[in-house]
Amino acid sequence: MAKPLILVTNDDGITAPGLRNLIRYLNGFGDIVVVAPDSPQSGKGHAITVDDTLFLNKMPVKDGATKEYSCSGTPADCVKLALRELLDRKPDLCVSGINHGSNASINVIYSGTMSAAIEAGIEGIPAIGLSLCDYAWEADFGPAETAIKQIVGKSLEKGIPEGVILNVNIPKASEDGLKGIKVCRQARANWREKFDKRQSPSGKDYYWLTGEFELLDNGEDTDEWALAQNYISVVPTQFDLTAYHAIQQLNSWDF
Amino acid sequence: MAKPLILVTNDDGITAPGLRNLIRYLNGFGDIVVVAPDSPQSGKGHAITVDDTLFLNKMPVKDGATKEYSCSGTPADCVKLALRELLDRKPDLCVSGINHGSNASINVIYSGTMSAAIEAGIEGIPAIGLSLCDYAWEADFGPAETAIKQIVGKSLEKGIPEGVILNVNIPKASEDGLKGIKVCRQARANWREKFDKRQSPSGKDYYWLTGEFELLDNGEDTDEWALAQNYISVVPTQFDLTAYHAIQQLNSWDF
């Protein structure tokens, strides 16, 4: 039987420590093909490049990968190019990350890491997005290694349900500090933006987006609750955005 | 009582005929503030600008709007800037569009139009994304006017359910050809990409993303089915991406 084919990508770019560590953790699970952005793509959501050219560059292979390419596009572009232009068969798994920073709760909507995993999911490929709740470039990914291997192993062994992508977030903690893995729902939250307004040398106003995360949900079944207790959160995530519960109410509008 | 405050945006840019027609259709419903991208932002998904500056420009008011601004960012940036920097109270409604092209089924994931509406929805603002299934810049929006006014009117009168955003798609048809409005679920579909591979004058390979829409769902309760029958589709859409049905199965993985 052929070894599992694992497509690895991220949104922080092909040189990001989170990605390089992930490739090392995946050694032994299968053949690893890396197609990752050539520059950071944080906050790119599910952007795709429809009005511009895309470049692919074959890169030196490192950390046990079979093949590596960098791509000028978004994380979703990386997955599309990998599937259509680079791989001769459908991958058995797509793993995106490890993101430098949380993609829990509402962050999933803005996340390039998760958009790559969701893109794979749309194509019927089992997919996992991994994020460490530490934005530092020098973040310590080591404590998460055992849990990541466990999640990847279970995903290959049991099969991720059809149409579902795993959104995995790992708290910043020592390995001993990690309490385990919890299946959760996405917490209700938003960002309370503050725009930092400045003036250019020529007198033109401009803004930098900053903000504070605002948790609106105290449920003990949420990813934010699990992370606050030092659990790794796993949220099954879907790309069918239909709010089924609202269909009946809208039908009563009587168009 | 104050007139309703309506925030209008889109992803095709502030000069797009779809937006200009929408503003005219909304005259009479309330005070209209327009904050729209200064350039086309199609396919931007839920991108936000975290690593670059943002510019806002006050624009001449046209078509019955109260205020108009163009923004250098993405559709989601437009909504964030409008809420935090420009409006002195929370809008009663956000309408995004009218997009030149379909945002039905899986297109919702890639859609800048819908990302703006979803961003408003996250902020607790009733929100509607409108799209006409015609990519032409000269598309005829006229046949949709009556239905759009009906949907906006009902939304203000009845209230869109909390956490729900309406994804409205309008078939390309004459007004007589439109059969009515149907509440639907998002059809299962994907894009079968074809990358057009070319060579630059200096001999470097590059790609253009192209592709064909592939419908994987024959359900008669879907948006694609409704549109094919010349109905206007309304899909209640949510930003809680949790696949609740999969939680039990993942719990059986026994981490």
- How many angstroms separate the CA atoms of B165 and B239, rounded? 9
**CATH H-level superfamily of A5-187+219-251:** Survival protein SurE-like phosphatase/nucleotidase (3.40.1210.10)
**Chain B touched by A88 (CB under 8 Å):** no
Q: Is the dihedral of CA A121, A127, A132, A138 positive or negative?
A: negative
Residue B109, pLDDT > 90, answer yes
- Domain boundaries along the sequence of chain A: 5-187+219-251
Reported ipTM:
0.94
In angstroms, what separates the C-alpha of A2 from chain B's closest C-alpha?
Answer: 25
Contact (Cβ atoms closer than 8 angstroms) between residue B247 and residue A236: yes
* Long-range residue pairs from A147-150, CB within 8 A, at least 24 positions apart, any chain: A147/A178, A147/A181, A147/A232, A148/A22, A148/A25, A148/A98, A149/A25, A149/A29, A150/A181, A150/B255
Strands (E), B135-184: 164-170, 180-183
**Chain A touched by B76 (CB under 8 Å):** yes
Instruction: Please tell me whether the overall predicted TM-score, pTM, comes out greater than 0.90 for this model.
Output: yes
Q: What are B124's two structure tokens?
A: 């607790």
Looking only at the bridges linking them, the beta strands covering A67-71 and A31-37 are parallel
| Interchain CB distance below 8 Å, B56 and A208 | no
Q: What are phi and psi of A182, to 5 degrees?
A: -125, 130
**Chain B touched by A81 (CB under 8 Å):** yes
Q: Which residue has the higher pLDDT, A254 or B89?
A: B89
Burial of A214 (0-12, 13-18, 19+ CB in 10 A): exposed
| Interchain CB distance below 8 Å, A45 and B76 | yes
pLDDT 10s digit of each residue in chain A, 255 long?
Answer: 689 999 999 999 999 999 999 999 999 999 999 999 999 887 777 888 888 899 999 999 999 999 999 999 999 999 999 999 999 999 999 999 999 999 999 999 999 999 999 999 999 999 999 999 999 999 999 999 999 999 999 999 999 999 999 999 999 999 999 999 999 999 999 999 889 999 999 999 999 999 899 999 999 999 999 999 999 999 999 999 999 999 999 999 988
Nearest to B170 by CA among B99, B75, B96: B99
Strand partners, A34: A8, A68
| Interchain CB distance below 8 Å, A240 and B186 | yes
| Cβ-Cβ contacts under 8 Å, A255 against chain B | 150-151, 154, 180-183, 234
Nearest to A68 by CA among A116, A117, A31, A25: A31
Contact (Cβ atoms closer than 8 angstroms) between residue B7 and residue B82: yes
- How many angstroms separate the CA atoms of A120 and A128, rounded? 9
Half-sphere exposure of B92 (CA within 13 A, CB side): 18
| Cβ-Cβ contacts under 8 Å, B241 against chain A | 108-109, 167, 186, 235, 237-239, 241
| Range 2-31 of B in CB contact (< 8 A) with A | none
Which candidate in A162, A186, A240 is best for mutational testing of the B interface (most B CBs within 10 A)?
Answer: A240
**Chain B touched by A207 (CB under 8 Å):** yes
Q: Which residue of B has its CA nearest to A105?
A: B240
Contact (Cβ atoms closer than 8 angstroms) between residue B174 and residue B142: no
**Chain A touched by B199 (CB under 8 Å):** no
Q: Which residue of A has its CA nearest to B206?
A: A55
- How many angstroms separate the CA atoms of A38 and A11, rounded? 9
* Residues constituting chain A: 255
Q: What are A202's two structure tokens?
A: 């020529």
* β-sheet with B56-58: strand ranges across: B56-58, B67-71, B31-37, B5-9, B93-100, B127-132, B164-170, B231-238, B180-183
| Cβ-Cβ contacts under 8 Å, B101 against chain A | none
**The domain made up of B5-186+218-251 is a member of CATH 3.40.640.10:** no
Nearest to B240 by CA among A46, A120, A185: A185
Instruction: Determine the residue type at B142.
Output: G
Q: Is the dihedral of CA A156, A157, A162, A163 positive or negative?
A: negative
